[in-house]
Amino acid sequence: MTSVEKTGKTVDEAVEAAIAELGVSRDQIEYEVLEEPSKGLFGFLGGKPARVRVNLLAGQSPAAISEPQEKKELVSAAGKATADSVEVAKTFLQSIFTAMKLNVKIEKLTGEEQVTLNLRGEDLGILIGKHGQTLDALQYLTNLAAHRDSDERVRIIIDVEDYRKRREETLVRLAQRLADRAKLRGEKVVLEPMSPHERKIIHTALQTDQRVTTFSEGEEPFRKVVITPKR
């Protein structure tokens, strides 16, 4: 490898990331700034990272790195990138809460494939919205902000007072009740429009029921689940 492109919060950060990947020193490379960094809303959203192309000088070669050590460094770098993304997410959320004059405590829960930031405080219903629509939008914006300067992708889930768990339990009970109705009446039952995540909960809740089948119909954001009895 004699050339690599990298991004970072600053030009120097992007250059250092490229040097680390190439395994060389700064005096062995030359670089070109492809894009200067810029900030967006709240200093995060909509901004762009610095992007550089780093080339090895003629006659230079990357340092040899043993595979075990290289793997350790990659794991360490991935862990740091995840931690950095979560910190950016928390800072982004706090900037929103400050603007809304909300006193919110952020609890971090780490899973195997995702990080959950559970929000606790007084009068946080405004952050949830109807059927969690506001919460979903907040989660989407937070992930955009968290990954603005990172090549690593960790899924960040935003929750409020364990709302998502309670909502899932409610949807499972709803699915079972409506499936019983479909079987009793022998006719299909159409649910209200739901997000892809909530539709998946309905499908999963009924996938082992041998007497009904489920499918989704319609266009987003009005796509809905249909439960039909098997003949």
Rounded Cα distance, 11 and 37, in Å: 7
Boundary residue ending a domain (161, 178, 198)? 161
Domain of residue 119, CATH code: 3.30.300.20
Residues 154 and 174 in one domain: no
Residues 111 and 185 in one domain: no
Rounded Cα distance, 80 and 108, in Å: 16
pLDDT in tens, 189-228: 999 999 888 999 999 999 999 999 999 999 988 899 999 9
Lowest-confidence region among 52-56, 72-76, 163-167, 171-175: 72-76
SS3 call for 32: strand
Does residue 88 lie within any of the structural domains?
yes
Domain of residue 30, CATH code: 3.30.30
Does residue 125 lie within any of the structural domains?
yes
pLDDT recorded at residue 74: 40
- Per DSSP, the residues of 8-22 read ESSHHHHHHHHHHHH
Name which of 184, 190, 192, 199 is nearest 229 in CA terms.
184
Does residue 10 lie within any of the structural domains?
yes
What are the structure tokens assigned to 211, written together?
């007497």
Lowest-confidence region among 67-71, 91-95, 185-189: 67-71
pLDDT recorded at residue 190: 95
pLDDT above 90 (res 68): no
Higher pLDDT, 99 or 37: 99
Residues 130 and 216 in one domain: no
Name which of 32, 21, 12, 60 is nearest 151 in CA terms.
21
pLDDT recorded at residue 175: 96
pLDDT above 70 (res 135): yes
pLDDT above 60 (res 151): yes
pTM of the model: 0.58
Does residue 62 lie within any of the structural domains?
no
pLDDT band at 1 (very low <50, low <70, confident <90, very high): low
Higher pLDDT, 115 or 152: 115
pLDDT in tens, 76-134: 444 555 777 888 889 999 999 999 999 999 998 877 678 899 999 988 999 999 888 89
Q: Which domain holds residue 204?
A: 165-229
pLDDT recorded at residue 189: 95
- Kindly state the percentage of the chain with pLDDT values over 90: 41
